[in-house]
Amino acid sequence: MLVLAISFATPSRAETEQDHTEIVGPNACGECHKKTVAVWQKSHHFSTFKELPRRKEAIEIAKKMGLKRIKAGSLCLDCHFTTAEASGGKRKAIAGVSCESCHGPAKGYVKRHGEFSGKKKESETEAEALQRWADSDAAGMIRPGDMYALAKNCYDCHTVPQEKLVNTGGHTAGSKFELVSWSQGEVRHNVWYNGGKGNAEASAEHKRVMFVVGLAVELETSIRAVGNATVKADYAVAMAKRAGRAKARFRKIADVLPIPEIGQINLAANSVKLKLNNKDKLSKAAAKIAAAANAISDNYDGSTFGAVDGMIPPASKYKGMADQ
């Protein structure tokens, strides 16, 4: 079944660097999203603000990379913190990974996003709501309905985008991130679907789309990383292995879910070799995967994706504990 809601494409942080001058901070979001921010304040994303700079491993990595202060080094700021503009035009860490890390800098959309077209929520017409969402998207908001863009923001950091950070700094090449199990464990990101009623788990249909799109984005991101690698060292090897695992898992999806977009992803992934000095072909394959993943995000609601249910991680595998 095709999704009836309109989706407006927005770029991920991989496509456009976040503008810290447009950051409003989580407190601004919390003026309306009180429950969500309260849940976030008990999450790993929140606690990284104070805990990361004290970790022995983080201090050692920063030293190897020539960084004196973790909260002042752009290599760390981009993924581990939310930053805003400080005096002199410098970036200042104001929170851990927060609302705008995933949904985009909010200065341009925060007011329009929450004003209900100048009315009360129940008085806003469907046409007015659609226009408000379109305006918010145009101003840079990445909404949950755009599963592809949201997943890209996750994978852009959970697969490390800096080769030197791994080969020289000793940073891991990425976490064992999987979109369903890591997004449904703490802040479940379902406000859009449940009308703001608590921190409920995603529906079975939504988790199916999340699983398929998430794995496609993992495949795309790791293939791009192999293409960007310059030497056969820890980073290139780790990313090639990650891409290989994602390819194998996606072949299983293709066996049970014969929609055109799945076939396109499977074909693109298996038509290119995971090797150094192959950036052009790897980038083209990744672009085809991205286009197909975007189409799945935009055009399917998961109701016909039941064949993948046995592949989706169960609740016992979710990362962290959910606060209601």
Q: pLDDT tens digits, residue range 193-218?
A: 555 566 577 889 999 999 999 999 99
What are 64-100's pLDDT values in tens digits?
999 988 987 678 998 999 999 887 778 899 999 999 9
Residue 41 per-residue DSSP state: T
Residue range 103-116: average pLDDT?
A: 91
pLDDT range class, residue 37, cuts 50, 70, 90: confident
Q: State the pLDDT at residue 198.
A: 61
Note the residue count of the chain.
324
94 CB-contact burial (10 Å; exposed 0-12 / middle 13-18 / buried 19+): buried
Q: Residues 76-80: contacts with CB within 8 Å, 24+ apart? A: 76/52, 78/13, 78/18, 78/157, 79/156, 79/157, 80/48, 80/52
Residue 7 has pLDDT above 60, yes or no: no
Instruction: Write b or e for each residue in 213-236: b if 16 or more Cβ atoms lie within 10 A of its Cβ, otherwise e.
Output: bbbbbbbbbbbbbbbbbeeeebbb
Residue 15 has pLDDT above 70, yes or no: no
Q: State the pLDDT at residue 16.
A: 45
Please give the sequence-ordered ranges of beta strands (E in DSSP) within the chain, or none if there are none.
82-85, 91-95
Residue 306 has pLDDT above 60, yes or no: yes
What does the block give as tokens for 139?
A: 């101003």
Q: State the pLDDT at residue 191.
A: 58
pLDDT range class, residue 6, cuts 50, 70, 90: very low
pLDDT range class, residue 269, cuts 50, 70, 90: very high
Residue 299 has pLDDT above 90, yes or no: yes
Q: State the pLDDT at residue 13.
A: 44
What does the block give as tokens for 240?
A: 């090639």
Q: For residues 28 and 108, give the distance between their C-alpha atoms in angstroms, rounded to a whole number.
A: 13
What are 213-260's pLDDT values in tens digits?
999 999 999 999 999 999 999 999 999 999 999 999 999 999 999 999
Lookup result for tokens 């079944």: 1
Residue 307 has pLDDT above 90, yes or no: yes
Q: At what angle do helices 260-269 and 279-299 cross, to 10 degrees?
A: 160
Instruction: Please name which of 141, 247, 250 lies closest in space to residue 192, comparing C-alpha atoms.
Output: 141
24 contact partners, CB below 8 Å, separation of at least 6:
100, 105, 106, 107, 110
Residue 1 has pLDDT above 60, yes or no: no
Q: State the pLDDT at residue 195.
A: 59
When the pLDDT of each residue in the chain is averaged and rounded to a whole number, the result is 87
Residue 273 has pLDDT above 70, yes or no: yes
Bridge-based pairing state of the strands 91-95 and 82-85:
antiparallel
pLDDT range class, residue 188, cuts 50, 70, 90: low
Q: Which residue has the higher pLDDT, 219 or 37?
A: 219
The model carries a pTM of 0.87
Share of the chain above pLDDT 70, in %: 88
Residue 2 has pLDDT above 50, yes or no: no
Instruction: Please name which of 46, 43, 9, 10 lies closest in space to residue 27, comparing C-alpha atoms.
Output: 46
120 contact partners, CB below 8 Å, separation of at least 6:
none
Domain ranges for the chain, please list them.
Answer: 145-324
Angle at alpha carbon of residue 192, lines to 24 and 42, rounded to 5°: 60
CA dist list (Å): 118 to 32, 112, 122, 132, 191: 15, 9, 12, 10, 21
Q: State the pLDDT at residue 72.
A: 79
